[in-house]
Amino acid sequence: MSAFRTLQFPTANIPPDGVTHAGEITFQDLAIDPEDRFAFPSPLHFVFTLTIVNDDVLVAGKLSGVIEVMCDRCTDNAPCKVAVDDVFHRYENVVGEVVDLTADIREDILLTFPQSYLCSDACRGLCPSCGGNLNRERCACSAAADAGQDNPWRQLDSLKL
């Protein structure tokens, strides 16, 4: 695969059966910058087939990659696979020109980013008292809460229903 800095492809020499482009592009080249919740340790992989139909160019293909997402419970970063298996775009009257897929591909991949994310189903999150990550260690606050100390709900345990 080749690394592309842009997703701009010339349409002048596309054969009748189409042409396939495979490669990878960084998220930064798609104007998707890291932020508190998302990081991008590896590039986005793509395979596109460009076909001419009348004076239009049809682009069909797939996108896939791995991003790091902050867990909603424990705030650790964890890998998350993102993929679009049905990329399809039509560009009208562009035969003989250079077609730029960047904006459309950026939108396609952003739509796959998770709105909420857990690093695992068994994630225990953060201690509500001290903020310690309960996946890594058992804090003294949790032991005290388990023993019933300073638990405002402790009296409910004694109810006979």
pLDDT digits (tens, 9 = 90+) for 138-152: 887 755 555 555 677
Residue 2's nearest CA partner among 21, 27, 15, 20 is 21
Residue 57's nearest CA partner among 24, 114, 8, 126 is 8
pLDDT higher than 90, residue 6: no
Are 65 and 140 part of one and the same domain?
A: no
Distance in angstroms (rounded) separating the CA atoms of residues 11 and 135: 53
Are 129 and 114 part of one and the same domain?
A: no
Q: What is the mean pLDDT of the chain?
A: 88
Give the total number of structural domains in the chain: 2
Are 7 and 68 part of one and the same domain?
A: yes
Quick one: average pLDDT of 44-64? 94
Are 132 and 161 part of one and the same domain?
A: yes
143 lies in which domain range?
124-161
What pLDDT is attached to residue 145? 53
Using pLDDT thresholds of 50, 70 and 90, give the confidence band for residue 4.
low
Are 43 and 73 part of one and the same domain?
A: yes
Are 109 and 154 part of one and the same domain?
A: no
Are 50 and 32 part of one and the same domain?
A: yes
What pLDDT is attached to residue 109? 95
The pLDDT tens digits for 15-30 are 989 999 999 999 999 9
What pLDDT is attached to residue 1? 46
Are 97 and 65 part of one and the same domain?
A: yes
% residues pLDDT > 90 (the chain): 66
Stronger pLDDT, 14 or 2, i.e. the higher one:
14
What pLDDT is attached to residue 31? 92
Are 110 and 150 part of one and the same domain?
A: no
Q: What is the pTM of this model?
A: 0.77
Do 99 and 50 form a contact (C-beta atoms < 8 A)?
yes
Are 128 and 71 part of one and the same domain?
A: no
Quick one: average pLDDT of 40-56? 93
Are 130 and 87 part of one and the same domain?
A: no
- Torsion angle in degrees (nearest 10) through CA of 30, 31, 35, 38: -10
Stronger pLDDT, 132 or 108, i.e. the higher one:
108
Are 9 and 61 part of one and the same domain?
A: yes
